[in-house]
Amino acid sequence: MKHARAADPKRTLRAFAAIELDAAARSAAAAGIRALRELPGGGGVRWVREEALHVTLRFLGDVARERLPALQASFAAAAAGHARFELAFSGVQLFPTAARPRAVALGIGPEAPLAALARSFEAAAVACGFAPETRGFRAHLTLGRLRSARGARSATAPASRFEPARARIAPARFEVDHAVLFQSEPCPDGSRYTALSHFPLGAVPGVRDHP
Q: What is the pLDDT of residues 82-112, one digit of tens each?
A: 999 999 998 888 898 888 889 999 999 999 9
Cis (ω within 30 of 0) for the bond into 110? yes
Map out the domains of the chain as residue ranges.
Answer: 12-209
Question: Which H/E stretch holds residue 19?
Answer: strand 12-19
DSSP per residue over 21-73, as a string?
Answer: --HHHHHHHHHHHHHHHTSTTGGGEEEPPGGG--EEEEEEEEEEGGGHHHHHH
pLDDT of residue 125: 98
Answer yes or no: is pLDDT of 63 > 80.
yes
Q: Which of 189, 138, 156, 121 is nearest to 44 (CA)?
A: 156
Q: Indicate the residue type of 3.
A: H
Q: What is the pLDDT of residues 160-194, one digit of tens each?
A: 356 776 667 778 899 999 999 999 998 877 789 99
The model's pTM is 0.84
Domain 12-209: top CATH class: alpha beta
Q: What is the pLDDT of residues 66-86, one digit of tens each?
A: 999 999 999 999 999 999 999
